[in-house]
Amino acid sequence: MTSKTTGTHGAVLADTPPERDRPIVELRGAGKAYGNIRALHGVDLAVHPGRVTCVLGDNGAGKSTLIKIISGLHQHTEGEVLVDGEPVRFGTPRDALALGIATVYQDLATVPLMPVWRNFFLGSEMTKGPWPVRRLDIARMKRTADEELRNMGIVLDDLEQPIGTLSGGQRQCVAIARAVYFGARVLILDEPTAALGVKQSGVVLKYVAAARERGLGVIFITHNPHHAYLVGDHFSVLRLGTLELSAARADITLEQLTNHMAGGAELAALKHELAQVGGVDVDALPATDPEIPAPGGAAHDATGSAAAPGSATAAGSAAAPGSATAVDTTGAADSTASAEGKA
Ligand SMILES: Nc1ncnc2c1ncn2[C@@H]1O[C@H](COP(=O)(O)OP(=O)(O)OP(=O)(O)O)[C@@H](O)[C@H]1O
């Protein structure tokens, strides 16, 4: 087991450089039941340093439940969660944070009327002087917040301005820089672009990429395949609590990812219904084939046997590293397609 040291800000940091091929966090067949409700089932996921793992899914797919398990808010009820190869069961978010797993939630826990620098250190203020005359070290907090934001490429005009006056995108960026400063090795971003316009989303995605450049493992939760594809290294699509798709970037195109997210089969059914209503030229709509074309034109193997390296596999068969695994919950038949059109 890797020996560890305690970082300057309380997080436990590995004392050896992170190995890119070794996941920091890994889920093996993990799941969660709330009483009789099985919210998540049999999920495999690996978060590597310096890579962005995107978790996509529609409403109720199980994204929040997944975040809650990894961030220590809820305990998994099936499978395993491993950190640095060791099985863990977090009691509180503090346990996850101590291992360097930080979560930036959509509704950021900030105090809108407080200055940016004050929010940066909220709950972990720097102090100076001996007790009982210990007081806030305001100058050092301002200087450090300024340095850390600049390190992430975030330049704000005035750190004295209330954080509530920043745009949603800027506030997300401050939260990301804060998590990095306080020793995060894994950053969980809960739909950071959900409430943002195109330009602001671009700003946030830039800092997601910056966090990856700094060697963090990023879990990027989103509904938006376009945003995911701009920064993602791996894509996991959840559907009704199970992993419907797990694909490395090299094995899936944006079009295929979008189709999976949209639920190609459901879109096809919707197109059929629209055709009955009339007034919609369904033939002019994009194709809705839910299957992932196998790279190189190899056929899917829906029987559960191992597919050729680099090909897409269905029905939960063991896939070679780096290959796309389409878990076919419907038991659909084979399809053969080309891998043309990759971005
Ligand atoms: N505390 C809970 N008690 C009972 N059921 C829950 C609880 N939390 C979530 N669920 C159920 O688990 C399933 C997955 O929910 P979850 O919130 O994880 O999905 P989600 O993908 O995050 O959805 P959204 O995008 O709408 O937030 C849903 O059917 C939901 O109703």
> What are the tens digits of pLDDT across the range 273-329?
777 766 666 666 655 554 544 333 333 333 333 333 333 333 333 333 334 444 433
Asked if the ipTM is above 0.85, the reply is yes
Query: CB neighbours of 263 closer than 8 A, spacing ≥ 6?
Result: 58, 239, 290
Mutation test of ligand 1: which of 37, 105, 236 has the most ligand atoms closer than 8 Å to its C-beta? 37
Tell me the average pLDDT across 104-114. 80
pLDDT of residue 15: 47
Q: Of all atoms in ligand 1, which is nearest to the CA of residue 62? A: 18
pLDDT of residue 13: 45
Tell me the average pLDDT across 149-160. 84
Q: Please state, in angstroms and as integers, the Cα–Cα distance from residue 283 to each residue in 160, 272, 286, 287, following that order.
A: 56, 10, 8, 9
CA of 242 to the centre of ligand 1 (A): 12
Tell me the average pLDDT across 101-117. 84
Q: Of all atoms in ligand 1, which is nearest to the CA of residue 68? A: 18
Asked if omega into 132 is within 30° of 0 (cis), the reply is: yes
Handedness of CA 96, 107, 68, 58 (dihedral sign): negative
pLDDT of residue 259 exceeding 50: yes
Which residue minimizes the CA distance to atom 4 of ligand 1? 34
Mutation test of ligand 1: which of 64, 68, 70, 106 has the most ligand atoms closer than 8 Å to its C-beta? 64
Q: What is the average pLDDT score of the chain?
A: 77
pLDDT of residue 49 exceeding 80: yes
pLDDT of residue 338: 34
Q: Determine the length of the chain.
A: 343
pLDDT of residue 265: 59
pLDDT of residue 61 exceeding 80: yes
Per residue in 6-37, pLDDT (tens digit) is 334 444 444 445 556 789 999 999 999 999 99
pLDDT of residue 112: 87
CA of 37 to the centre of ligand 1 (A): 9
pLDDT of residue 261: 80
Residue that wins the pLDDT comparison between 299 and 164: 164
Which residue minimizes the CA distance to atom 1 of ligand 1? 34
CA of 33 to the centre of ligand 1 (A): 10
pLDDT of residue 39: 94
Which residue minimizes the CA distance to atom 12 of ligand 1? 39
pLDDT of residue 312: 36
CA of 47 to the centre of ligand 1 (A): 22
Name which of 75-89, 181-195, 326-340 the model is least confident about: 326-340
Which residue minimizes the CA distance to atom 18 of ligand 1? 62
Q: Which residues sit with their C-beta closer than 6 Å to ligand 1?
A: 34, 37, 39, 57, 59-65
- Tell me which amino acid residue 261 is: M
pLDDT of residue 328: 38
Q: Are 176 and 104 in contact (CB under 8 A)?
A: yes
For the structural domain made of 11-114+184-240, what CATH number should be given? 3.40.50.300
Instruction: State how far the Cα of 236 lies from the Cα of 249, in Å rounded to an integer.
Output: 11
pLDDT of residue 285: 62
Per residue in 63-89, pLDDT (tens digit) is 999 999 999 999 999 999 999 999 999
Mutation test of ligand 1: which of 38, 43, 65 has the most ligand atoms closer than 8 Å to its C-beta? 65
Q: Are 300 and 314 in contact (CB under 8 A)?
A: yes
Look at strands 101-104 and 186-190 and give their pairing: parallel
Instruction: State how far the Cα of 278 lies from the Cα of 6, in Å rounded to an integer.
Output: 65
